Amino acid sequence: MSARARIGVLALQGAFAAHTEVVRRLGREPREVRLPHDLDDCEALVMPGGESTTMSKLLETSQLFDPIAKRIADGMPVFGTCAGMILLASNVLDGRDDQRSFAAIDIDVRRNAYGRQVDSFETDLTLSGDAEPLHAVFIRAPRIERMGANVMALAECDGAPVLVRSTSVMAASFHPELTDDDRVHRMFLELVDTVERR
Ligand code: GLN
């Protein structure tokens, strides 16, 4: 096993504990990432839901932003859910002016775009190539409004992609860590293992 065998979970704010649990349930060692050196033994990183503006600020004060950006540039696989997806997007619409993102995947996302009145909703999605519906929880979710040519939609909701991937990045508008269904995390761990083998 390589020195970097852990699945990092960014643990500055938001729903990180549920991701940590899923990673453990799937037989992998999670590592909560709060400081730059926590990244050292991580082969991949999950960015949870929460509040992207707050996380952006905390990434700077904890001096994690630049080391994470460097690891992403070096090919570390990353998976962002909800606010985490906003942090990974190349372009954030309706963001705060000082909000930063890693531009790790070529998508435009609009914050809180599923409407403030219906803050949260649940629905069944179809995963590409899988007949079994996936129950998905959306909480003040960002909407993907544009996808680059190298980005693939793995699930859609009302005509908009809600789960996407590129070579080493996955992003979801919803919260797969809040349901018992592990398929989305399994997809990410497969991606991690594929990137590792290349
Ligand atoms: N609306 C939040 C944001 O802009 C995301 C919500 C979530 O992660 N559940 O960061």
**Ligand 1 atom at minimal distance to the Cα of residue 84:** 8
* Residue found by looking up tokens 């775009």 in the block: 113
Question: Which mutation among 56, 82, 87 tests ligand 1's pocket best, with the greatest number of atoms within 8 A of CB?
Answer: 82
pLDDT at residue number 1: 46
Residue type, 152: M
Query: Structurally, how many domains does the chain consist of?
Result: 1
Q: Is 177 part of the annotated catalytic residue set?
A: yes
The CATH number of the domain holding residue 86 is 3.40.50.880
- How large is the angle between the packed helices 52-61 and 65-73, nearest 10 degrees? 100
Q: Which residues contact 36 (CB under 8 A, 6 or more apart)?
A: 62, 63, 64, 67
* pLDDT per 10-residue tile (average), the chain, 198 residues: 81 97 97 97 97 98 98 97 98 96 98 79 93 95 97 94 97 96 97 86
**Ligand 1 atom at minimal distance to the Cα of residue 175:** 9
pLDDT at residue number 117: 55
pLDDT at residue number 115: 67
In-domain check, residue 1: no
List C-alpha distances in Å: 156 to 10, 41, 60, 127, 145: 26, 34, 33, 8, 12
In-domain check, residue 88: yes
* Residue found by looking up tokens 């000082």 in the block: 98
Distance from residue 96's CA to the centre of ligand 1 (Å): 12
In-domain check, residue 151: yes
Q: Is 175 part of the annotated catalytic residue set?
A: yes
Catalytic residue from among 19, 42, 157, 175: 175
Q: 3-state secondary structure string, 64-108?
A: CHHHHHHHHHCCCCEEEECHHHHHHEEEEECCCCCCCCCCCEEEE
pLDDT at residue number 105: 98
* Residue found by looking up tokens 């793995």 in the block: 154
pLDDT at residue number 114: 84
Q: Is 42 part of the annotated catalytic residue set?
A: no
What span, in angstroms and rounded, lies between the C-alpha atoms of 150 and 29? 30
Q: Which domain holds residue 166?
A: 6-197
